[in-house]
Amino acid sequence: MPRKPIKIAETIEYLEILDENAKVDTKLEPKLSNETLIKMYRYMLLGRRADERMLKMQRQGRMGTFPQASGHEAISMGSVINIDQSDWHVPAYRELAGMLYRGWPLENVVMFWNGFEEGTAPPEGTNDLPICVPIASQLLHAAGIGMAMKLRNEKKVVMTYFGDGAASEGDCHEALNFASVFKAPVVFICLNNQYAISVPLHKQMACETIAQRAIAYGMPGIKVDGNDVLAVYQATKEAVERARNGGGPTLIEALTYRITPHTTADDPKKYRSEQEQDEWLQKEPLIRFSKYLKSKGVLTEKELVAMEEDVDKEVRAAVEKAETLSKSDEYMDPTRMFDYLYKEIPDFLEEQRQEMVAYVEREKAKKAKKSKSNAPSGAGAR
C-alpha cells in the first residue's frame, strides 16, 4: 500500500502588536478603555516595584530566598485581566502582578516567602491556588480543575502558567494531553524566558517553538511577544473565549527574558553575557507600555510620577505590615508547626506538640521573671 500523508496544521502564528520601540500596529491594536489600560499598567508597576523591594529585603536578611518576577509583568497582567473572579487562576511563581490584581495582599506574598503558611491563603471570593514552587505540578492541578468544570458543565475557565524549563517536565505533557482529550477549558501560558535556571532553551528541546507542541496535542497554539502586554492580552482573550464556549484548551508561548537571576540564590553571570542582558533590557515591558500610554494621551509624565509615588507608599505599607505580623507572638509561636499536618494528629506527634507547648510556656515564664527582676522600683526610679 502506498504511503499516505496525514494532514495536520503546519504553522504557528507569532503575535506582536506593540514593538520594542512602542510602535503599535493599529490594525491589531485591541480596543481597551483608558481605565483598563491604566489599571493594567499600575499593577505591572506595583509588581515590579514590590519585586525590587523584596530583593533588597532578601539581601538585608529580612526575607528568604525567592524567585523574582521582574520582566514577566506583561505576561501576568495581560492575561489575567481576561478572566473573572469566579474563574480559576493557577500560578507558578512569577505571576506577582496578576496575583495582586486578583486581590492578593502584598503582605501575604512577603509572608509566604518568609515561610509563613498564612501567605498561602487566597483572597475571599476568588478561585485562586497559592504560589506553586514544585516545577510543573500546578499544571496537573489546572487540568484536573478544568476537567471537573467540563463534567459539571460550568462556564468557567482555568488560567495557568509555567516556564520553559517546566515544559520539559512530564507533568506538563500529561496536563496538556489530558486537557486536550477532555476538552478542558484551560489556558496554558508558557513564560519562555529562555533559561531553565542555567540551561538555555536550545539545550532543552530541538523544536523551534514551544507553541508548536500544541499541534501534537490537538489544541490551538500561538507564540506571542511576552514583553508586549497588548499581544498577550489579545492572545489570551481569544483563548479564554474559546475555552468558555466549549472549544477546549489553548497553549500560549510568551517569549520574554529574566532581567534578574532565576532566584536570589542564583548568579546568572556564570551562564549569560552582559551584552545579552543589556539587549533584552531595551525590550522590557514597563518602559514599552508607558511610552505607548503617553503617546495615546492616556497618562502624562506627571501622572506616571504620581503613580510611582503612590505605588511606593503601598509597597512600604505592605512590607511594614508583614514584618509587624511576622514578629508577633501569634505568628512566632513554634507550636503552630503542628497545625494542618493531619486531620487527626497521630499520638507520637501529639506527644511532641505537648513537649513544645511546655517548652514555650517555660520560656515565657523565664522571660516574665527576668523582665520583672529588671524593672525599676521605688521613688528614686521615677
How many domains in the chain?
Answer: 2
Annotated catalytic residue, options 258, 272, 288, 292: 258
**Which CATH number does the domain housing residue 150 bear?**
3.40.50.970
Cell numbers at 238, concatenated: 481569544
Annotated catalytic residue, options 262, 272, 288, 292: 262
Report yes or no on 320 lying in a domain: yes
Give the model's pLDDT for residue 371. Answer: 77
Query: Residues 288, 213: one domain?
Result: yes
Query: Residues 282, 360: one domain?
Result: no
Per-residue pLDDT of the chain (382 residues; tens, 9 = 90+): 789 888 887 789 999 999 999 999 999 999 999 999 999 999 999 999 999 999 999 999 999 999 999 999 999 999 999 999 999 999 999 999 999 999 999 999 999 999 888 899 999 999 999 999 999 999 999 999 999 999 999 999 999 999 999 999 999 999 999 999 999 999 999 999 999 999 999 999 999 999 999 999 999 999 999 999 999 999 999 999 999 999 999 999 999 999 999 999 999 999 999 999 999 999 999 999 999 999 999 999 999 999 999 999 999 999 999 999 888 877 888 888 888 788 899 999 999 999 999 998 998 888 888 877 776 665 554 4
The question of whether 271 is a catalytic residue gets the answer: yes
The question of whether 141 is a catalytic residue gets the answer: no
Q: What is the pTM of this model?
A: 0.90
SS (H, E, C) the chain: CCCCCCCCCCCCEEECCECCCCCECCCCCCCCCHHHHHHHHHHHHHHHHHHHHHHHHHHCCCCCCCCCCCCCHHHHHHHHCCCCCCCEEECCCCCHHHHHHCCCCHHHHHHHHCCCHHHHCCCCCCEECCCCCCCCHHHHHHHHHHHHHHHCCCCCCEEEEEECCHHHCHHHHHHHHHHHHCCCCEEEEEEECCEECCEEHHHCCCCCCCCCHHHHHCCCEEEEECCCHHHHHHHHHHHHHHHHCCCCCEEEEEECCCCCCCCCCCCHHHCCCHHHHHHHHCCCHHHHHHHHHHHCCCCCHHHHHHHHHHHHHHHHHHHHHHHHHHCCCCCCCHHHHHCCCCCCCCHHHHHHHHHHHHHHHHHHHHHHHHHHHHCCCCHHHC
Query: Residues 186, 73: one domain?
Result: yes
| Helix 301-326 / helix 34-59 crossing angle, nearest 10 deg | 50
Annotated catalytic residue, options 59, 271, 342, 362: 271
Give the model's pLDDT for residue 331. Answer: 80
Query: Residues 222, 137: one domain?
Result: yes
Among 326, 346, 362, identify where a domain stops.
326
Give the model's pLDDT for residue 378. Answer: 57
Query: Residues 34, 73: one domain?
Result: yes
Query: Residues 196, 251: one domain?
Result: yes
Partner residues linked to 187 by β-bridges: 159, 250
Give the range of the structural domain holding residue 347, as residue numbers without chain letter: 334-371
The question of whether 353 is a catalytic residue gets the answer: no
Give the model's pLDDT for residue 382. Answer: 44
Query: Residues 240, 360: one domain?
Result: no
Report yes or no on 381 lying in a domain: no
